[in-house]
Amino acid sequence: MPPWLDSRLLGHADKPAIAGPWGVTTYADLRVLMNKATASLRQLALDRPTAFAIVGEHGPASAAWLLALCDAGHFVAPLAGSSAEHPPKLAQIHAQWIVSTRGHEWSLLPRVDEPSNHPLFERLRAQRHSGLVLFSSGTSGRPKAMVHDFVGLLAAYASRHENRLPVLALLGFDHIGGLHTLFGCLAAGSLLVVPSDRSPAAVATAMAQYRVAVLPASPTFLNLLVASGEYQRHDLSALRLISYGTEPMTENLLARAREAFPGVRFLQTFGTSETGIVRTESPDPASTFVRLEDSAMEWKVVADELWLRSPTQIVGYLGGDSARFTDDGWFRTGDKVESGPNGTLRVVGRFGEMINVGGEKLMPAEVEAIVLEVSGVVDCRVRGEPHALTGQTVAVDIVAAAGMELEALRASIRIKCREQLAAYKVPTRVTFVTSVSGDRLKKLRDLPRP
Amino acid sequence: MLTRPQALALVLRRLALLGRELGKPQLEQANEETRLFGEAAALDSIGLVTLMADLEEDVRAACGVSVHLADEKAMSRLTSPFRRVGLLADHLIDVVEKSTPPA
What is the DSSP track for B88-101?
A: HHHHHHHHHHHHSP
Relative orientation angle of helices B85-99 and B4-22, to the nearest 10 degrees: 120
- Kindly list the structural domains of chain A, giving each domain's residue range(s) and its CATH number in brackets, ordered by start: 3-154 (3.40.50.980), 355-446 (3.30.300.30)
User: What pLDDT, on a 0 to 100 scale, did the predictor assign at position A446?
Assistant: 39
A65 in Cβ contact with A54 (< 8 Å): yes
**pLDDT band at B39, cuts 50/70/90?**
low
Helix ranges, A234-281 (H):
251-260
Q: Which residues of B touch A395 (CB under 8 A)?
A: 53
User: What pLDDT, on a 0 to 100 scale, did the predictor assign at position A62?
Assistant: 98
User: What pLDDT, on a 0 to 100 scale, did the predictor assign at position A443?
Assistant: 37
Helix ranges, A156-250 (H):
176-188, 200-209, 219-227, 230-233
Which string of b and e fits A227-258 if b means at least 16 CB within 10 Å? bbbbbeebebeebeebbbbbbbbeeebbebbb
Phi and psi torsions of A95, nearest 5°: -60, 135
B101 in Cβ contact with B11 (< 8 Å): no
Where does residue B24 rank: exposed (0-12), middle (13-18), buried (19+ CB within 10 A)?
middle
| Contact status of A256 with chain B (Cβ, < 8 Å) | yes
Strands (E), A209-330: 214-217, 241-244, 265-268, 270-272, 276-278, 280-281, 291-292, 298-302, 305-309, 316-317
As a whole number of angstroms, the distance between CA A187 and CA B6 comes to 58
- Pick from B44, B50, B52: CB nearest A199: B44
As a whole number of angstroms, the distance between CA A310 and CA A100 comes to 32
Within 35-54 of B, beta carbons closer than 8 Å to A belong to 37-41, 44-46, 48-50, 52-54
Q: How many domains does chain B have?
A: 1
pTM for the full model? 0.80
| Contact status of A230 with chain B (Cβ, < 8 Å) | yes
> A387 and B71: CB-CB below 8 Å?
no
User: What pLDDT, on a 0 to 100 scale, did the predictor assign at position B100?
Assistant: 64
Q: Which amino acid is at A166?
A: P
Range of B32's domain?
A: 4-99
User: What pLDDT, on a 0 to 100 scale, did the predictor assign at position A220?
Assistant: 87
Q: Specify the CATH number for the domain of residue B15.
A: 1.10.1200
Question: What's the distance, CA A258 to chain centroid?
Answer: 25
User: What pLDDT, on a 0 to 100 scale, did the predictor assign at position A139?
Assistant: 61
Which string of b and e fits A137-148 if b means at least 16 CB within 10 Å? bbbbbbbbbbbb
> A411 and B21: CB-CB below 8 Å?
yes
| Contact status of B2 with chain A (Cβ, < 8 Å) | no
- Pick from B17, B71, B79: CB nearest A388: B71
User: What pLDDT, on a 0 to 100 scale, did the predictor assign at position A437?
Assistant: 66
Separation of first and last alpha carbons in chain A: 37
Inter-CA distances, A186 with A7, A100, A157, A295, A315, Å: 11, 22, 9, 22, 24
DSSP assignment letter at B2: -
As a whole number of angstroms, the distance between CA A345 and CA A229 comes to 31
Give the per-residue SS3 of A258-270.
HHHCCCCEEEECE
DSSP assignment letter at A248: -
Within 171-200 of A, beta carbons closer than 8 Å to B belong to 199-200
User: What pLDDT, on a 0 to 100 scale, did the predictor assign at position A168?
Assistant: 98
User: What pLDDT, on a 0 to 100 scale, did the predictor assign at position A447?
Assistant: 39
Task: Give the chain A residue nearest B72 (alpha carbons).
Answer: A388
Q: Is the pLDDT of residue B40 over 70?
A: no
Inter-CA distances, B28 with A385, B20, B51, B61, B87, Å: 28, 8, 14, 22, 18
pLDDT, tens digit only, all 450 positions of chain A: 778 888 889 999 899 999 999 999 999 999 999 999 999 999 999 989 999 999 999 999 999 999 999 999 999 999 997 788 899 999 999 999 999 999 999 999 999 888 888 999 999 999 999 999 999 876 666 788 999 999 999 988 998 899 989 999 999 999 999 999 999 999 999 999 999 998 999 999 999 999 999 999 988 899 889 988 899 999 999 999 999 987 778 888 899 999 999 999 998 888 888 888 887 888 888 888 888 888 888 999 998 899 999 888 899 998 866 778 888 889 998 888 888 888 899 887 778 778 999 888 888 888 988 998 899 998 889 999 989 889 899 999 999 999 999 999 999 999 999 999 999 999 999 999 988 765 444 334 433 333
A51 in Cβ contact with A75 (< 8 Å): yes
Inter-CA distances, A360 with A135, A218, A351, A353, Å: 12, 9, 16, 14
User: What pLDDT, on a 0 to 100 scale, did the predictor assign at position A322?
Assistant: 72
pLDDT tens-digit readout, B52-65: 999 999 998 888 88
Is the alpha carbon torsion for A215, A218, A219, A221 positive or negative? negative
Q: Closest Cα to residue A288, out of A252, A251, A262, A253?
A: A251
- E strand or H helix at A20: strand A16-20
| Contact status of B82 with chain A (Cβ, < 8 Å) | yes
Where does residue A45 rank: exposed (0-12), middle (13-18), buried (19+ CB within 10 A)?
exposed
